Amino acid sequence: ATPTALLVGTGRAAQQGIVIKGPEILESTRRIDTVVLDKTGTLTQGQMSLAGVDSLVQPEQHEALRRGERPDGGEPSGEALLMAAAVESGSEHPIARAIVDAAAGPMPQARDFSNHAGLGVSALVATDGGEREVLVGRPRWLAEQGVDLGGAEGVPGTQELVDAAEQTGATAVVVAWEGRARAVLHLRDTIKPEAHEAITELKRLGITPHLLTGDNRASAERVAAEVGIEAEHVTAEVLPQDKLDVVARLQEQGRVVGMVGDGVNDAAALAQAGSRGLGFAMGTGTDVAIEAGDITLVRGDVRTVPAAIRISRRTLRIIK
């Protein structure tokens, strides 16, 4: 490949919002046969909104419920949302932004925030009586932290509420304090209107698309079906540190992988893909992802993934 031809190729790419870190990268782009796409922020807008709150019935309310009475207890769902928002104000995750935006009223103070990647967040939140540790995250992680997930005969527990929310395609997180689950929050994201076209175009180029996400299986499969990714190519509920392994496993099978992602949690997988293929970072995503990627998709438009591959194929065909 002549340097001039490669420069023409990278120049053409740049005009379409595809920034390539070095001209030699076009060679790996051309060989890609598998594209692994992150879900949140890559195939979806990554702008979640709160779609519902289920309060968990607490043990002291079970008796009233069994008698067919409405258990009292003020306005628990409002309190749970405020508690969650106080914790999430320390996080940059799309889930966090949705919860903070939805919480009305003055937010309680929080300190000692900690983020458990792919699992949830926690902090100490100020209350009238002092302070309490509030956790927001996946049910399994909360159970590991010793949280009672509730539920009893005739009373739905956390897992049932989460399952029901996920069946509707939502992402569900649980709010807990003082050792008990308090509420399940439903969050909704929107699929990018151009995602389906991008996947169709990849398939037309003979490339197999895969979906990789830390989110739940039901929501992942729903997005996959809508954009045209086969259910067998969906890997869900993956911890950030394990995203890299999914890419490495495909490489071991002899695939040349392009990974597309936007989050801090995608950076390692982007770098892994780049070692033997290519990492595409959404320009609308985090700086960490952009640094780890070989190509930046400036506008965050997934259609520029097949466009980059087409340009590389054309450039290198002319040269040979």
> Shortest gap between Cβ of 34 and Mg ion (angstroms)?
19
40 near Mg ion, judged by CB under 5 A: yes
166 binds, among ligand ADP, Mg ion, none (CB under 5 to 8 A by kind): none
Residue 136 near residue 114, CB atoms below 8 Å: no
Q: Is 33 an active-site residue?
A: no
Backbone phi and psi for residue 6, each to the nearest 5 degrees, phi listed first: -65, -40
The 10 Å CB-count burial string (b at 16+, else e) for 62-73 is: beeeeeeeebee
Dump the DSSP string for 137-180: E-HHHHHHTT-B---BTTB--HHHHHHHHHHTT-EEEEEEETTE
Burial of 112 (0-12, 13-18, 19+ CB in 10 A): exposed
d(CA 206, CA 204): 5
> Shortest gap between Cβ of 111 and Mg ion (angstroms)?
28
> Shortest gap between Cβ of 42 and Mg ion (angstroms)?
6
Residues from 19 through 38 that contact Mg ion (CB under 5 A): 38
Q: In this chain, which of 20, 85, 121, 149 binds ligand ADP, going by CB under 6 A?
A: 121
User: Could you tell me the two tokens for 171?
Assistant: 């992402």
219 near Mg ion, judged by CB under 5 A: no
Which one of 33, 38, 54, 215 is the catalytic residue? Answer: 38
Binding mask 196-235 for ligand ADP (x = CB under 6 A): -----------------xxx--------------------
171 binds, among Mg ion, ligand ADP, none (CB under 5 to 8 A by kind): ligand ADP
215 binds, among Mg ion, ligand ADP, none (CB under 5 to 8 A by kind): ligand ADP
Backbone phi and psi for residue 274, each to the nearest 5 degrees, phi listed first: -65, -25
Q: In this chain, which of 96, 110, 281, 311 binds ligand ADP, going by CB under 6 A?
A: 96
286 near ligand ADP, judged by CB under 6 A: no
Burial of 295 (0-12, 13-18, 19+ CB in 10 A): buried
> Shortest gap between Cβ of 252 and ligand ADP (angstroms)?
22
Residues assigned a catalytic role: 38
